[in-house]
Amino acid sequence: MAMNFDPFRELDRMAAALADRQGPRLMPMDLYRDGDHYVLAADLPGIDPGSVDIDVDGQLLTIRAERTLASANGVKWLAQERRGGSFLRQLNLGQGVDTERIAATYEQGVLTVTIPVSERAKPRKIEVSTASGSEQPAVAA
């Protein structure tokens, strides 16, 4: 089997390996608002759902996960690019969310966290009353 040596690819591999040893890695994510809730979708392929830990402390949402790889003792590795380790993501939620009703699901390598908007932060109509005390809806000119 012929193999080409690419010194730049080898440098990239070594830099990535060094970065892996520095601590938890970030997880790529998307965040969007859908009606009355925010949806966070984070890529966590190969994660055991039991290792996922999500907590809220005040307005700080923290997601932790661990990927463990099966070790193959006595084998000769030809390539070993999949990495185990810890993943960490922290988000400041702000004041407009309902932290009591946050929910999460994990399916096909994607962790989905649903964060409801609080009732106080939802748009609402304000009635305007006149000096005579009767309420009338505001009219835009």
Q: For the purposes of burial, counting CB atoms within 10 Å of the CB of 89, is it exposed (0-12), middle (13-18) or buried (19 or more)?
A: buried
Cα separation of 115 and 42, whole Å?
Answer: 14
Cα separation of 99 and 117, whole Å?
Answer: 9
- Residue range 55-66, pLDDT digits in tens: 999 889 999 999
Whole-model pTM: value is: 0.67
- Residue range 73-123, pLDDT digits in tens: 888 888 877 778 889 999 998 888 898 999 999 999 999 999 998 877 667
> CATH number for the 22-69+83-122 domain, one of 1.10.490.10, 2.60.40.790, 1.20.200.10, 2.60.120.10?
2.60.40.790
